[in-house]
Chain A
Amino acid sequence: MESDEKRSIEYKMDILVGYILLTGVLVSIVLIATGVVWHYVDTGHLGFDYSIAGMNLFQFVLNEIHQFTQFHLRPRLFVNLGIAALMLTPYIRVLASMLFFALAEQNYKYTTFTAIVLMVLTYGLFLR
């Protein structure tokens, strides 16, 4: 009985992780493609010519969201948001796994492991 319950929790976790990954990649592709097509419609050619200065992901995301809320909409904003969404996909996957291990499965051993992974990833994303 207990094992059945555990199996059903693991099943839910697999489904959750699968959909997080799928959604993240799809959102990212749609955003990038939107930016590229918009740029093409605007300028008549496909190539972009800009680069971003060295910054970490959180600065990058905040910067983009700030522009978004200012309605400063440009094709490159969509491309940048798409790249940010792609980078956040595995991050959110790990975050969700940690919450699931902690709250649903109450497996503190794996909650700790996942927390370590999350900490190292966060450290990496704060690099500057």
Chain B
Amino acid sequence: MIRFVCRLTHYVSINIHLLKENRMSFEILLLVSIVAGFVGAMSGMGGGVILIPALTLLGMDIKHAIAISIVSVIATSSGSASAYVRDRITNLKVGMFLEMFTIVGALVGAAITLISSRGPLFIIFGLVLLGSWLTLLLQRHEMWRPIEHQDKFSNWLELNGEYFDHASNETIAYCGGRAYLGGPLMFGAGLIAGLLGIGAGALKVLIHDLVMGLPPKVSTTTSNLIIGVTALAGTSVYLAAGMISPALAAPVILGIVAGAFIGTRILVKLTNQSVRLFFLIILAILGVEMIIRGVGTIA
């Protein structure tokens, strides 16, 4: 017992030493990433939203946390997108069209992060967290308002499709609309993704649902596909800046994927309401905390 305590104290002191040098031990990074991936998968919000505040709380520089997070976003989104695409729910054409806008947004966003000072990044991140908190609070039940008359541009873009719904056992046909508005808005979603190193899936889903009138299942799965490519565009900027350290990326990628894998398995067993309440509390605390720290950095 005493030996155990001694080893534990020794271990903690090593880690505190590493933190002071702005380095983090593999074990801590792995653990934090597993939790972030797990919570992210359970809530459907992705891992970055939890990972970045957690890493900065542990003492990592926010720009490095953003750079590491966006690499892991490629892994989680590609992993889940692969299953959805094979289920034939994802609309590849909607995805391809909108990716033209999100990747440019991500390149611009990541470039802004590189030259920005840290205070504003904390504040924007906090605001995005509180925004997600609000959308989760006002969560609409899966109500789908189909587009009645598809505009000419969306029709030219062939943004219609159908998928087989296993719950109702029928094929659901739909057509996406207002692509002229959805495209530019997705530039904004890509900008946020590149700027903050997150997938910004909630924002993308909102645009698909409210602007383009896609059914909920199609909009979530298609946003997942777009997130991977958008994250790659952001990653390329951070890689060029020498901010992707494999020593940090390795445990984060492994942890996030493992956590997400466990999270999707457990999702079925927990009631929706308790997950939602838990996540509402976490988002509110992290959001307020990030804003306070941002203001503190500037002041």
Of A15, A76, A125, chain B has the most CB atoms within 10 Å of the CB of: A125
- Please measure, in the bound complex, the distance between the C-alpha atom of A52 and the C-alpha atom of B240, giving whole angstroms: 10
Classify chain B's interface size: 35 or more
Contacting residues, chain A, for B245 (C-beta < 8 A): 50-52
Interface of A is mostly: helix
Contacting residues, chain B, for A47 (C-beta < 8 A): 25-27, 247
Complex partner residue of A25 from B23, B75, B250, CB under 8 angstroms: B75
Q: Is the CB of A54 within 8 A of B239?
A: yes
**Closest Cβ neighbor of A46 among chain B residues:** B26
**Closest Cβ neighbor of A122 among chain B residues:** B236
Q: A49-B23, A51-B242, A54-B240 are in contact. Are A18 and B82 (CB under 8 A)?
A: yes
Contacting residues, chain A, for B71 (C-beta < 8 A): 83, 86-87
Query: What sequence of 0s and 1s flags, for each residue 59-102 of chain B, a beta carbon within 8 Å of any chain A beta carbon?
Result: 00000000000010011001101110110101011001101100
- Please measure, in the bound complex, the distance between the C-alpha atom of A79 and the C-alpha atom of B246, giving whole angstroms: 7
B235 within 8 A of A: yes
Q: Is the CB of A54 within 8 A of B85?
A: no
B244 within 8 A of A: yes
A65 within 8 A of B: no
Query: What sequence of 0s and 1s flags, for each residue 1-25 of chain A, a beta carbon within 8 Å of any chain B beta carbon?
Result: 0000000001101110111111011
- Please measure, in the bound complex, the distance between the C-alpha atom of A51 and the C-alpha atom of B246, giving whole angstroms: 6
Q: Is the CB of A52 within 8 A of B253?
A: no
Of B75, B88, B243, chain A has the most CB atoms within 10 Å of the CB of: B75
B107 within 8 A of A: yes
The distance from the CB of A114 to the nearest CB of chain B, in whole angstroms, is 5
B241 within 8 A of A: yes
Q: Is the CB of B81 within 8 A of A21?
A: yes
Of A25, A33, A121, chain B has the most CB atoms within 10 Å of the CB of: A25
- Please measure, in the bound complex, the distance between the C-alpha atom of A24 and the C-alpha atom of B231, giving whole angstroms: 15
Interface of B is mostly: helix
- Please measure, in the bound complex, the distance between the C-alpha atom of A38 and the C-alpha atom of B235, giving whole angstroms: 26
Interface of chain A residues 84 through 107 with chain B (CB within 8 A): 86-87, 89-91, 93-94, 97, 107
Contacting residues, chain B, for A48 (C-beta < 8 A): 26, 246-247, 250
Complex partner residue of B74 from A11, A20, A50, A89, CB under 8 angstroms: A89
B228 within 8 A of A: yes
Query: What sequence of 0s and 1s flags, for each residue 32-65 of chain A, a beta carbon within 8 Å of any chain B beta carbon?
Result: 1101100000000111111111111100100000
Q: Is the CB of B236 within 8 A of A124?
A: yes
A73 within 8 A of B: no
- Please measure, in the bound complex, the distance between the C-alpha atom of A22 and the C-alpha atom of B103, giving whole angstroms: 21
B binding-site residues for A, Cβ under 8 Å: 23, 25-27, 30, 71, 74-75, 78-79, 81-83, 85-86, 88, 90, 92-93, 96-97, 99-100, 103-104, 107, 156-158, 228-229, 231-233, 235-237, 239-247, 249-251, 253-254, 257
**Could you list 6 examples of A-B contacts with CB < 8 Å?**
A51-B247, A57-B239, A87-B236, A93-B229, A110-B96, A124-B107
Pick the 9 closest A-B CB pairs, nearest first: A54-B242, A18-B86, A21-B82, A124-B236, A48-B247, A46-B26, A22-B82, A127-B240, A18-B85
